Amino acid sequence: MEHINDKKNFLNLSTAKDANQKAKNDEVKVSKMSVLSISSIPLVMTLGNSMLIPVLPSIEKKLTISSFQVSMIITVYSIVAILLIPVAGYLSDHIGRKKVIIPSLIIAAVGGGISGIAAWMLDNSYWVILIGRALQGVGAAGAFPIVLPLVGDMFKKEEEVSSTLGVIETANTFGKVLSPIIGAILAGFIWFIPFMSIPVFCLLSILLILAFVKVPANQKKPLPFKEFISHTKEVINKDKKWLYAIFFIGAIIMFILFAEMFYLSDILEKKYHIKNIKKGFFLAIPLGLLCLTSFITGRKIKQDQNLMRWITIIGIIAIIVGTIALNFTENIWFIVACLTISGIGIGASLPPLDALITEGIEKEERGTITSLYSSMRFIGVAAGPPCMALLLKHADQIQFYLLSGITMLSVLVAFFRLKLPPSSKA
C-alpha cells in the first residue's frame, strides 16, 4: 500500500489519535483499491494470452495451418516477453514501476488490435497476427513482471507482501479460469473477436492504475548498462543456490500448465467434438481449482519460508500424480480429474515461489531479479504448447511420462536447493 508518513508534531494527544486514526482509515481504503488495480494487470495479461487457447483449433482451421504453427501464436508472445522482461525490470528499478507498466499496457493493446484487424481484413493473415502477438509480448514484458517488485515496494511487512502476492497470483489464475469461457463465448460470435477484446481489457487496467496506484518515490538514476550487468551478476551469484532453484521450478510449472491446457483443448475438440462455451467450461474446471488453491495458499504462507518450501514440494508432487495418471485412459472426465489434481498442485506452488523471491531480495534489486524469474516463467509458457503439439504427433504414448520426469527434477531441486539463508530478507 501507499506508505502514509507519520506526523510526529501534534498539538495534543487527542489530535494525534485523530490524525493517526484518519491516516489508518485512509490507508485501508486506498490499499484495497490499489490491490484491486494492481491485480487487474495479471488478470488482463492472462486473458490476452490464455483466452486464445480454446480458440486455437478454430484458428488452425480458419487459417489452414498446422497444430505447430497455431501453437506459435502463444509462443511468439512469450518469446518476445522473455527477451524484454529483464530490460523492463531494469527500467522499473530506476525510472519507476508505473512509468514502465502504463506504456507496456498501451503497447499490448496496440498488438491485440493489429492481430484482430489482420484476422478480420486480410486473407493471409497468419504472419501479421504473429507480428501483433509479438507486440503484445513487448507489452507483457513490462506489465505483469513488474507487479511483483511493485507489491514489495508498497508494503512494509513481509506478511502483507506474501498475502498480497497470493491475491496477485490468484488474479493471474482467475484470469486463466475466465479465459477459456470468455474466449469461447467471443469466438462463438466471430473467431477473431478475442484478439479485438484485448485493447478493451488493457484500457480498463490502465484507468485503474492511473486512478488508484501510487508508489513510494525512491527511484534512482539508471546505472550505466555495463554496471547494471555487473551488479546483476553479483546479486545472482550471492544467492544463486536458491535463485536458480526458483527460476527452474517456475519455468517447469508454467511449462506443464500450458502443455496440459493445450492437450485438453486439443482433445476436447478433435476427439470429443466439444466446442465453444461448453469447451470453455471444461477448461475452467481444473483452472478454477488452481485459482482457489492459489488464493488459499497466499493467505496461509504468511512469512514462513520453511512452510513455503514444503508447500512448493507437496504442490509439485501433486502435479506429478495428476500428470502420470493421464496415461491410463482418454475418458474425458478422468482427464479433467487428473488435470484438476495437477492444477491444485500448480496453484499451491506458485504463491510460495513469488513470495520467496520477492521477500528474499533487497528492494533496490527486486525489479531486476523478479523480472528474470518472470522470464523463466515465460519460457515455460512459450515451450508448453509447441512441445505438446510435437509430443502428440511423435510420442503419443509416452508424452505424460516425459512431462512427469521433467517435473520430478523440480521436486529434487525444491528439496535440495530451495533454502533461503536467514539473512535473505528484504
Measured torsion, CA atoms of residues 263, 266, 269, 271, in degrees rounded to the nearest 10? -80
Residues 29-34, mean pLDDT to the nearest whole number: 63
For residues 350 and 249, give the distance between their C-alpha atoms in angstroms, rounded to a whole number: 9
pLDDT surpasses 90 at 123: no
pLDDT surpasses 90 at 128: yes
The three grid cell numbers given for residue 86, joined into one nine-digit string: 529483464
Determine contact, residues 177/287, Cβ cutoff 8 Å.
yes
Which of 19-23, 216-220, 260-264, 408-412 has maximum average pLDDT?
Answer: 408-412
* Amino acid identity, position 160: E
Q: What is the pLDDT of residue 17?
A: 45
Higher per-residue confidence, 150 vs 130: 130
| Residue of 44, 51, 150 lying closest to 96 (CA atoms) | 150
| pLDDT tens for each residue of 298-313 | 888 877 788 889 999 9
Question: Reduced to 3 states, what is the DSSP secondary structure of residue 16?
Answer: helix
For every residue of 13-34, which 3-state class applies, written as one string? HHHHHHHHHHHHHHHHHHHHHH
Mean of all residue pLDDT scores within the chain: 82
Whole-Å CA distances, 317 to 161, 261, 284, 413: 26, 19, 22, 12
pLDDT surpasses 70 at 375: yes
Banded pLDDT at 338 (limits 50, 70, 90): very high
Identify how many contiguous H helices and E strands the chain contains and give both numbers. 15, 0
Higher per-residue confidence, 326 vs 239: 326
Q: What is the pLDDT of residue 420?
A: 62
Give, as one character, the DSSP assignment of residue 211: H
Q: What is the pLDDT of residue 138?
A: 93
pLDDT surpasses 50 at 130: yes
pLDDT surpasses 80 at 5: no
Banded pLDDT at 332 (limits 50, 70, 90): very high
pLDDT surpasses 50 at 25: no
Q: What is the pLDDT of residue 408?
A: 96
